[in-house]
Amino acid sequence: MTATYAWSDHRIFEAGTGPDARVLLFGTDHASLFALDGSARDVLARWRGRESVDLRDASSPDREVLEALRDALVLVPASPQRRPAPAPIDPAEIPLATLVLEVAQACNLRCAYCYAGGGSYGGESRLMHPEVARRAARRLVESSGDRQLVTLVLFGGEPLLNVPALRAAVLEAEAAASEAGKQLVVSLTTNGTRFTPTLLDFLREHRVGITVSIDGPPEIHDANRRYAGGRDRRTYADVVKGLALLRTHMPKPPAARVTLTPAQWSRIPEVFRHVLDLGFLEVGIAPVSPVTAALLPTTEQDAALFTGFALLAAQFRQAAAAGRVLPFSNLLDLLARLHVGSVKSSPCGAGLGYLAADAEGRFFLCHRLAGEDEFQVGNLDAGIDHAKIRVCLANQAASRAQACRACWARSLCAGGCHYENHLREARLGQPPGGSCDFIRRWLEVGICVFADLCRDPGNPVFAFLGRRADG
């Protein structure tokens, strides 16, 4: 084994203040994390400036620290040809894991920020034919290779506008999964205004996980999420009624998906608390996508978004200190990844095991890119077009490849959401990197929360994170 090493990219964070102050070392390529005590900091100060580190030159205590850094790949073999090259991902080699079915490209709401143009993703409102739903559901299972677990996502528009296709998809996916000896997970994202007892019975019997879109207290929710047409177009009261019905039929509360416009970002903690108090299992908050230039945030609004998320992270920390989990989905997803040391080589699964099918059975890189011709990657008749996926992903990465290569957050971010980047850059002509500052600051918050948790390896929050990471 070589004794000569070079420093791989890493970043030093100062986390916390006063007696809680800690210094953290984050290894960029492998998302490895160390809390450095005083003596480790001294070792680092002695060795970090050197271009190459020969372990034979180190004293025994120094060597112990350096070896730990080597084991975490913060120190890597000095000879460049021995450094692991990032493995290129070939979409054709990644079996399908998740298929999002746009069963209704139509919606009974007209949300102020809708990226899907009233649910139709451009074009006319339309419903998926049950036969298309059946074929797509079976295709998911048939394209899943040796995966044991497949996920069907029922999406829209408002998927509950097309119950025949929804039922057809669920039943066919179950049959296909059972024939193939696979485990099936089905989830549904809905605006919560269309539940009926019969429908909820079906969703319970088929163990469908439910996410309800709700944006906070009535004045915020109703400003964002209104019915299409009609005199009183507010929806908050109906969503709350729907939740009450859901509670009487489903064994488990739903998750909440909150979308907030930049003008609402200053109210994030209050919105979170309101939605949680409605009885949701967990709450995820999505800053609205800039579908028009009017939704591009100002610097102050960006700052408010960060402050809101950071406040929820602080609340998470407090709860975790008492062994409780604050169910803030955004942070839980990040912590679960840090917990299992998962490293991203692509921003998300879009095109890499994750696809969406529109009402006609055309495949798209992801549900939010449905309807965009340049992101269409095959269809039910012709199959998945892996060559086109390669082109889409390469095009998406091209404008930011250099910045991402030099970014300390690359193993946790890997380029950001394709859809968001497409909106900002291709549609609104913004320069690449508009979200990077927020992404990095938020990741830093998550890393610090995680380091804090690591002080008590017996904290039950870790078991929760482990289960979440397992899926």
Residue from the set 436, 441, 454, 469 that interacts with ligand SF4 by CB under 6 A: 436
Nearer to ligand SF4, 244 or 398 (CB): 398
Query: Does the footprint of ligand SF4 cover residue 352 (CB under 6 A)?
Result: no
Nearer to ligand SF4, 115 or 316 (CB): 115
Query: Does the footprint of ligand SF4 cover residue 366 (CB under 6 A)?
Result: yes
Give the nearest distance from C-beta 242 to ligand SF4 in angstroms. Answer: 25
Distance CA 464, CA 130 (A): 38
Joined tokens for residue 66: 């350096």
Q: Which residues, at least 6 apart from 47, have a Cβ–Cβ distance to it below 8 Å?
A: 53, 58, 62, 66
Give the nearest distance from C-beta 375 to ligand SF4 in angstroms. Answer: 9
Query: Does the footprint of ligand SF4 cover residue 440 (CB under 6 A)?
Result: yes
Give the nearest distance from C-beta 157 to ligand SF4 in angstroms. Answer: 16
Tokens 């006319």 found at:
124
Residue from the set 75, 154, 359, 404 that interacts with ligand SF4 by CB under 6 A: 404
Give the nearest distance from C-beta 403 to ligand SF4 in angstroms. Answer: 4
Query: Does the footprint of ligand SF4 cover residue 308 (CB under 6 A)?
Result: no
Joined tokens for residue 459: 């904290």
Cα(first)–Cα(last) distance of the chain, in Å?
37
Q: What is the DSSP letter of 373?
A: G
Give the nearest distance from C-beta 272 to ligand SF4 in angstroms. Answer: 21
Residue from the set 68, 180, 348, 454 that interacts with ligand SF4 by CB under 6 A: 348
Residue from the set 26, 364, 419, 442 that interacts with ligand SF4 by CB under 6 A: 419
Joined tokens for residue 40: 């480790």
b/e burial code for range 360-398 (CB count within 10 A of at least 16 → b): ebbbbbbbbbbbbeebbbbbbeeebbbebbbebbeebbe
Give the nearest distance from C-beta 415 to ligand SF4 in angstroms. Answer: 5
Nearer to ligand SF4, 204 or 440 (CB): 440
Give the nearest distance from C-beta 370 to ligand SF4 in angstroms. Answer: 10
Query: Does the footprint of ligand SF4 cover residue 415 (CB under 6 A)?
Result: yes
Q: Which residues, at least 6 apart from 215, have a Cβ–Cβ distance to it below 8 Å?
A: 221, 224, 225, 258, 259, 260, 264, 271
Distance CA 181, CA 24 (A): 45
Distance of alpha carbon 161 from the chain centroid: 26
Query: Does the footprint of ligand SF4 cover residue 91 (CB under 6 A)?
Result: no
Give the nearest distance from C-beta 417 to ligand SF4 in angstroms. Answer: 3
CB 286 within 8 A of CB 257: yes
Query: Does the footprint of ligand SF4 cover residue 433 (CB under 6 A)?
Result: yes
Residue from the set 126, 134, 221, 368 that interacts with ligand SF4 by CB under 6 A: 368
> CA geometry: angle at 208 spanning 202 and 213, to 5°?
105
CB 271 within 8 A of CB 264: yes
Region from 40-48, 125-133, 250-258, 414-422 binding ligand SF4, contact rule CB under 6 A: 414-422
Give the nearest distance from C-beta 145 to ligand SF4 in angstroms. Answer: 20
Name the residue type at position 382.
Answer: A
SS3 category, 349: coil
Query: Does the footprint of ligand SF4 cover residue 400 (CB under 6 A)?
Result: yes
Query: Does the footprint of ligand SF4 cover residue 409 (CB under 6 A)?
Result: yes
Region from 146-154, 159-167, 260-268, 436-444 binding ligand SF4, contact rule CB under 6 A: 436-444
Query: Does the footprint of ligand SF4 cover residue 423 (CB under 6 A)?
Result: no
> CA geometry: angle at 244 spanning 243 and 248, to 5°?
110
Strands annotated E in 191-294: 208-213, 255-260, 283-287
Query: Does the footprint of ligand SF4 cover residue 94 (CB under 6 A)?
Result: no
Query: Does the footprint of ligand SF4 cover residue 290 (CB under 6 A)?
Result: no
Give the nearest distance from C-beta 367 to ligand SF4 in angstroms. Answer: 7
Helices H, strands E: what count in the chain? Answer: 15, 17
Q: What residues make contact with ligand SF4 under the rule CB under 6 A? A: 348, 350, 354, 366, 368, 400, 403-404, 407, 409-410, 413-419, 433, 436, 439-440
